Amino acid sequence: MQNAKPNADANDLIDRCVWARDLSTAQRDHVRAVTVIREYDQGDYVVHKGDMADHWLGVVEGIVKITTVSPSGKSVTFTGVPTGGWFGEGAVLKSEVRKYDVMALRRSRIAFIPRETFQWLLETSLPFTRFLLTQFNERLGQFIAAVEYERLLDIDSRVARAVSSLFNEQLYPGLGNTIEISQEEIGLLAGISRQRANQALKVLEQQGLVRVDYGVIEVLDLDGLRQYGE
């Protein structure tokens, strides 16, 4: 169930965003005025495949997965986006329909910035344009890596990459080395069962790469996770 929050909730959000740091006061004020934050329960769809990309989306709190389902019913998860991540800029830039579903893996708060404002920032702010170039480059590298580990790596390695992909400082700044995420959510991101995700996390923990607590994963060796299975 989605509930829109007043624009006052956007004040702190915009101040914390890396891409907003070099905006002018007028640009920040405009973004604050038009940003809407909506709340979603676990399992809710934030957007559906086929929806028009009318907004740029940011995860204020929680975690979502970007996924699609084939006509035969096979589900493919492209990536997860934790707190602090922004996504959907490609579809917004091209003014096209979404080619994926976005689902909340837990209760989440999502920011919506209108396409018109996104385009205006692109045209009037050079730092924002630079941010988007970095965003596109990082996202491309993430998806190429995802295709590789889906096709070439075993399940333990896929879980290692699924976890490490959430700790991209460019895409998800300020996350640190700890994330609140359940084994069920890791399984959904890696396309496996919760039980199998639990087994894989135990293997990674035994090798000193992560520390797993209830609903929390602490990364001890990020490079080791990224290279696991090679």
Measure the CA dihedral 135/66/167/122, to 10°. Answer: 20
Residue 186: predicted pLDDT: 87
8 and 114 fall within a common domain? yes
Q: Please check whether residue 13 is in contact with residue 83, taking contact to mean a CB–CB distance below 8 angstroms.
A: no
- Residue where a domain stops, chosen among 142, 170, 186: 142
For residue 188, give its domain range: 154-227
Q: Is the residue at 148 inside a domain?
A: no
How many folded domains does the chain comprise?
2
Residue 15: predicted pLDDT: 83
Q: Tally Cβ neighbours within 10 Å of residue 173.
A: 13
Could you give the percent of the chain with pLDDT greater than 90? 50
| CATH at 210 | 1.10.10.10
DSSP 73-119: S-EEEEEEEETT-EE-HHHHHHT-B-SSEEEESSSEEEEEEEHHHHH
Task: Specify the residue for token string 């696991």.
Answer: 228
Q: Is the residue at 137 inside a domain?
A: yes
Residue 131: predicted pLDDT: 93
Query: Which residues lie across from 127 on neighbouring strands?
Result: none
What is the mean pLDDT, run by run of 10 residues, along the chain of 230 residues?
57 85 92 94 94 95 87 76 91 91 93 96 94 88 70 81 85 82 84 89 94 90 86
Q: Coil, strand or helix: which one is 48?
A: coil
Residue 155: predicted pLDDT: 87
Residue 97: predicted pLDDT: 93
Q: Please check whether residue 119 is in contact with residue 111, taking contact to mean a CB–CB distance below 8 angstroms.
A: no
Q: Is the residue at 199 inside a domain?
A: yes
Tokens of 192: 């496996």
CA angle 90, 91, 95 (to 5 degrees): 120
Residue 122 CB contacts under 8 Å (≥ 6 apart), including other chains: 93, 128, 129, 132
Residue 35: predicted pLDDT: 94
| CATH at 101 | 2.60.120.10
Q: Coil, strand or helix: which one is 42?
A: coil
What ranges in 153-217 are assigned the alpha helix state H? 155-164, 183-190, 194-206
Q: Please check whether residue 105 is in contact with residue 188, taking contact to mean a CB–CB distance below 8 angstroms.
A: yes
Q: Coil, strand or helix: which one is 64?
A: strand
Q: Is the residue at 66 inside a domain?
A: yes
- Residue where a domain stops, chosen among 142, 171, 191: 142
- Residue where a domain stops, chosen among 116, 142, 168: 142
Tokens of 145: 């890596």
Residue 172: predicted pLDDT: 84
Q: Please check whether residue 43 is in contact with residue 1, taking contact to mean a CB–CB distance below 8 angstroms.
A: no
